[in-house]
Amino acid sequence: MKAEPVNVIPLAQAQTWAKRWQEASSIDIKAFLIPEIDVTQVLNEPNVENLRAYLGIDDNNNPKLMIVGVDKNGVDLINYDQGLYVYDMTSPCPKNCDYTSPLMG
C-alpha cells in the first residue's frame, strides 16, 4: 500500500489560500520558483533537518525569497565560516509564472 505524502492539502484549499494572499497582499507576488539544486544544497549542509523561508526586498526593490537550513531544535543554521549559508532562491512570479497553474486564480 502506497503511503500518503505528509502535509498535502487539497487543491481547493490551496486555491483558497492563494486567492486570499493575492487579495490581502499589497505586493504583487504570487509565487517563487525554487530551483532543485538550491534546495539540495541547503539540505546537504550539516545538521539541517528543515528549511525556513524569509521574504525580503533587495536594493532595486525586487522581491527575494531567502532559504536557510534549520536544525532539529528549530534554530536557523547560519554560519558562513562553517558552510551554513543564506540562499537567494529568487525567481518571483510575476516574471516567472506558470499561468496555467490552478493556483494562479
Is 12 a domain residue?
Answer: no
- Which of 2, 91, 81, 101 lies closest to 38, judged by CA? 91
For residue 47, tell me if it sits in a domain.
yes
Per the structure, how many domains does the chain have? Answer: 1
For residue 24, the model assigns a pLDDT of 86
* Residue 45 forms part of a structural domain: yes
59 within domain boundaries = yes
User: Is 83 inside any structural domain?
Assistant: yes
pLDDT at 69: 94
14 is a domain residue: no
Is there a domain that residue 66 lies in?
yes
Strands 86-88 and 63-70: antiparallel
- pTM here is 0.78
Domain region containing 62: 30-93
Residue 102 lies in a domain: no
Cis peptide leading into residue 35 (ω within 30°): no
For residue 51, the model assigns a pLDDT of 93
User: What pLDDT is attached to residue 45?
Assistant: 93
Cβ neighbours of residue 65 closer than 8 Å, sequence gap 6 or more: 32, 34, 53, 54, 55, 56, 88, 89, 90, 92
pLDDT 10s per residue in the chain (105 long)? 777 787 788 788 989 988 888 888 887 888 888 888 889 999 999 999 999 999 888 888 888 889 999 999 999 999 999 999 999 876 788 888 888 999 987
| Res 25: pLDDT | 80
Cell numbers at 58, concatenated: 533587495
